[in-house]
Chains A and B, each alone.
Chain A
């Protein structure tokens, strides 16, 4: 034990998934009674770290000391019984059951083998008061808002006498007032000596409530700092792995063969809101442009893409394609209007795993290559051959099931799905995530060529070089709104990070961390 107040010590944790090292000697140290932030970009390894801690995954290497003992939990339930509780982003409780039951599930007080409801409700009420709220514990959980549901989960954690509570993006669906309630509860926990691991992408909150922060990147722990001693911009740059002002050319394969001149405006998005998390998004895309859409995770980039594509309804604002108001509400209509969309989640929303490469490629083009419902084998073959060749898709045969391809080749097939439609606007959501370096470069080249051919590209990416080197303009989003537009000369890592990190005016956070404001370049 390094010092008596260390509660959790995770050392040199390794986790290897097939074809992917998720954690590479990552470490984490949490002290008793502190609120410890765990930050990092998508894929940095935060979730894997937490899952190993709580027993959802088993580690391939390293050690965990908890409360002075070496531990290896078999399941989250096991971890909970030993004093580590997790509050998940999607509340993992039973909505139809009462608040009291959700708190006491699995250890209901009984008398003569029958549940003692009176005692159970009283105990549950007591536990809730402990975390700072009073509600009718006999009502079903579903009747309460997310914040209260989170309190219930926390009360459950308290009931297990947890010494450590892990909160995985607890604030992602809370409004400001609800966040305050949650913070009050966290402060109570802290006062009672309970440690909290707090995962959030909202930096303001992190500075408002956390004592220390551990930054992770690419499966490694970068460093652990006192929140007091780190500036927000510095934190972002550490997360992204870029020094401020560092110039690093040629990290990507975006090309500018000819003069890329922006043509007429294709897409205009104005003041779009949705009942997901969008509140005031405005941006525009012109022909032959690559528009970068930047923002931290949870800023609303994917939601914006889905709204444009008609996959999610919007509640306010306008989306215009070539000046014509889009009223579509379905991807099918968006496609007809000339839009293509590659989802960030290839597996869940991109490929149809059991179908062949060819079938996946022509899926969206079927109306164009069939007559009277009959697919023209010839046209299908032409398309498939052309794009397998042009994009360099490595497949043993077009009839090979797509699930057998590597991530990069799957992504190329999905790109081809849209390219063969000759779209006017292509929305790419993290097009190079989770694929190897070689394929990454090829995809970046393809995207550049598209723009040169006059396609408007809206590219969501978390890789800062893709923004600085690939984009003609960059829109930055934060907390569901577009907050900055950077044009050709203004695009730099510093500017992007500044816009990503800056505090939202409506979202001013009190607390010890607020000193970071004004540290912006």
Chain B
């Protein structure tokens, strides 16, 4: 999928931001935001925690808004983002009792009230630096976000796309990073680099899928 035409265009756009427009590649967002050198930035909303605690001198002078996007054919803005997340996993065993208990435990842990309670208690102990980034959308509404911030978060969450994890998925991120760095460092052609690395990624995924006897399609 990376080596489709859309993928190549997206990759070209991304690397041209660094190569043609000279955006800094390595930077510490919090420090530069505080000093005013970067008045606007794209970051995950957990940076809110860091900024609210480590930058008290700019309190109430900054806020966050939905992601900038590209204009689609019908005029609306497509600002979908991807998100990462943490999962809970149950390992299958033969013991029915253990299975039921672990399922009940997981149901309890991800339920709204538990998440809200956890988020509120951790924020009351550690302050607003520990605002819990919960995945439970109902619980998010009940945490200590203000009305405007909540509207922004909900609007962005509606447009969020998650990536499916597959066997060998680590290979995608790893080689994409390699591809990006190669284009930035050596100023090579974006399309060629992407297609070369796409082949490497596909090979590793194939090896892993064969190991676990998952179906391969060419």
A and B bind: no
What residues make up the interface of B, taking CB atoms closer than 8 Å to A? none
